[in-house]
Structure 1
Amino acid sequence: MNRRTIPLVSAIAAGLLTMSACGGEDPLASDDSGPRSDSGTVVVGSADFTESTLLAEIYAGALEAKGIKVKKTLNIGSREAYIPALQDGSIDLIPEYTGVLDQYFDKDASATDSDEVYTELQAALPKDLIVLDKSDAEDKDAVVVTRKTADKYDLASIGDLKEVAGDLTLGGPPEWKTRPTGVPGLEKLYGVKFDSFRALDAGGPLSVQALKNGQVDAANLFTTDPNIPANDFVALEDPEHLFAAQNVVPLIAKSKADETVTDALNAVSAALDTETLAGLLEQVVLDKKDAADVAKEFLAANGLD
């Protein structure tokens, strides 16, 4: 392990202070006792990680360009928080990923191929929700280690961890401790059982910092994360397909998916591929550009503004 230069508790505390400084109130809270939005407004939400926020800004901008009234409710939290928000009308639209969304609604989901996952997902969705066109952009969960750790234990794939994980610590978002694609899936599919699990964030700065500083030996990051190449991290291969295809897709309340909304969001999906998404994310994460500004530039470059 690398020398621990920043205690984990301090890093978590700093992250919490940062969130507080940005507005610690519940993003779904409302002073109104009535509906969250009128019928002509689309409330766009996001999960609590950078890429989701960036995609939500892109969706919001594309809708506004078509004259649709938009309200943004960003950084809601995990899927366990924002899916109920979609179903109770607190939000109307959120960027999602086909594979994990399929597994959320269908505990017996088995598809791994991109098109098969999309088909299986459409059948699994509740009647009040639909997904629009999936994009070619894909961002998967990954088990990531430092180059030093990969070389020390000769790690190339997740299965290579089986004999050494008992001496290692895994870091990831709190929900990874119980999700089928988290700790339980690693044990079930690969026989990989870590010595301990540390709850961090959803592939965000706490996870990156903890991996860099040796506070964890492996972490859940996302494959488009520019921190992986920037830090020479190693994303371990997943030959058993613990992580199914994860194409970016708009998840929307069926009642809000009229022709104008659908066409605007499908046009975004048509313009997105993995390389493009990774480049946009790099501007936000490494170049420290505002996500809303990056979204505007993307929309303008693709004639969607």
Structure 2
Amino acid sequence: MKKLKKLAAAAVIGTAAIAALSLGGCAKKEQGTIKIASKPMTEQYVLTEIIGQLIEHDLGVKVEITKGVGGGTTNIQPALLKGDFDLYPEYTGTGWLTVLKKEQENDSDVLYENLQKGYEEMGLHWTGLYGFQNSYTLAVRKEAADQYSLKTFTDLAAVSDQLVFGGNPDYMEREDGFNYLASAYNMNFKDVKDIDIALKYTAMADKQIDVTNAYTTDAQLSVADVSLLEDDQHIFATYYGATVVRQDTLKKYPKLSETLEKLTGQISDDEMRAMNYAVEVDQKDEKDVAKDFLTEKGLLK
């Protein structure tokens, strides 16, 4: 991510140019409604609340959030192109692989630069790289990670015959799931178990399994006694979170670009995990979690 900040800065210039095309000045309160969509997952509910509350605070524009759009990107992307939505939070790897249908690109800087170009051709713009990425990783019981000094997937491969892997069924069956991982790193676990996704970390705490697949922003990682390993061969795409917005929406609301860019680099993996945990486990309302986050960051006055 060494160049992503520079690319994000370039995006500010680009959106400023888009805003300059708009006629007239910007009143204290802009008229209209900005429509935001989210995928059906806790993280997206929190992100859309963060974005929505920040827009209402900065621009005084009414925000309408549609949460949990079935099919996620598959249905949100065409609706965004039609103008049914103005913006939504997305992940770079998803945009690259699913929307643009490109081959995997392991250099996150090259990916983002070309992703931006591809989306601009569709009248869309990426902005406000949040800082975290929701990517595939492996979680290992901390006791086992310490015992074998595990830091990377390669480290794990060397001792995999001493450990038990447990994964949720869909991960075990997917093309880019367990078999892909095991083949790429030549892993040969002592045993492999199917574990319900909701029970993975419990099974690990009970020492039924030693290793499991995870997403870097899984809520349970906030409290689970595990170590996350580095995909040192970069076999998985990077999934940095950012906002995808229609160019004509940026023209209509000249200050929107500046507002969305305020989220650049503001959310770490740990912070996103903690917010997911607050909603999923502590049963807090995502609106309150978002407000607390924005207040703590000094983005709400």
Fold shared, TM-score > 0.5 on shorter chain: yes
Identity of aligned residues (%): 27
| Structure-1-length-normalised TM-score | 0.67
1:250-261 matches, within 5 Å, as: 250-258=243-251, 259-261=254-256
Cα RMSD of the aligned pairs, angstroms, is 3.8
User: Is 1:219 aligned to 2:212, yes or no?
Assistant: yes
Shift of 1:131: 0.9
Contact 2:92 2:242 in 1 (8 A): yes
**Once the 2 structures are TM-superposed, how far is the Cα of residue 41 of structure 1 from its aligned partner?**
2.8
User: Is the deviation greater in 152-161 or in 46-55?
Assistant: 152-161
Contact 1:99 1:243 in 2 (8 A): no
- CA contact under 8 A between 1:136 and 1:269: conserved in structure 2? yes
Give the alignment of 1:153-192 within 5 angstroms: 156-159=151-154, 160-161=156-157, 164=160, 170-172=166-168, 174=170, 177-178=173-174, 180=176, 182-183=177-178, 185-187=180-182, 189-192=184-187
Q: CA deviation at 1:253?
A: 3.1
Q: 3-state DSSP class of the match of 1:131? A: strand
Aligned residues: 262
Residue deviations 1:94-142 (CA, integer Å, cap 9, x gap) = 21222343233343132334x3332132134361432113233344321
Instruction: Report 1:106-145 matches (<5 A).
Output: 106-113=101-108, 115-125=109-119, 127-145=122-140
The one-letter code sitting in structure 1 at the alignment partner of 2:35 is: V
Q: Say which of 90, 94, 100 aligns to 2:88.
A: 94
Q: Which residue of 2 aligns with 1:27?
A: none
Q: Tell me whether 1:265 sits opposite 2:260 in the alignment.
A: yes
How far apart in 2 are the matches of 1:193 and 1:106?
Answer: 32
Which of 65, 68, 72 is the matching residue for 2:65?
72
Aligned partner (choices 294, 297, 302) of residue 292 of structure 2: 297
Q: Deviation per CA, 1:73-113, whole angstroms, max 9, x where unpaired? A: 22235444543443454543221222343233343132334
> How far apart are the structure 1 equivalents of 2:278 and 2:183?
37
* 3-state SS of paired residue (1:237): coil
Which residue in the other structure is 2:231 paired with?
A: 238
Mark the runs of 5 or more structure 2 residues left unpaired by the alignment.
Answer: 1-30
Query: Does 2:37 align with 1:45?
Result: yes
- Which stretch has the larger CA shift, 153-162 or 259-268? 153-162
* Match 2:53 to one of 44, 50, 61: 61
289-298 or 235-244, larger mean C-alpha shift: 235-244
How big is the shift at 1:304? 3.6
Q: Give 1:192 deviation, angstroms.
A: 4.4
Q: Tell me: CA distance 1:152–1:51, structure 2 relative to 1, closer, same or farther (3 Å).
A: same
Unaligned 5+ residue runs, structure 1? 1-38
The change in CA–CA distance for 1:148 and 1:59 in structure 2 (over 3 A counts) is: same
Corresponding residue number in structure 2 for 1:29 = none
Question: SS where residue 230 of structure 2 aligns?
Answer: coil
Residue 63 of structure 1 aligns to which amino acid in structure 2?
Answer: I
Rounded to whole Å, the distance in 2 between the matches of 1:199 and 1:253 is 41
Q: Aligned pair in 2 of structure 1 residues 124, 154: CA closer, same or farther (>3 Å)?
A: same
C-alpha separation in 2, matches of 1:86 and 1:200: 34
How much has 1:158 moved relative to structure 2? 2.6
Give the C-alpha shift of residue 295 in structure 1: 0.8
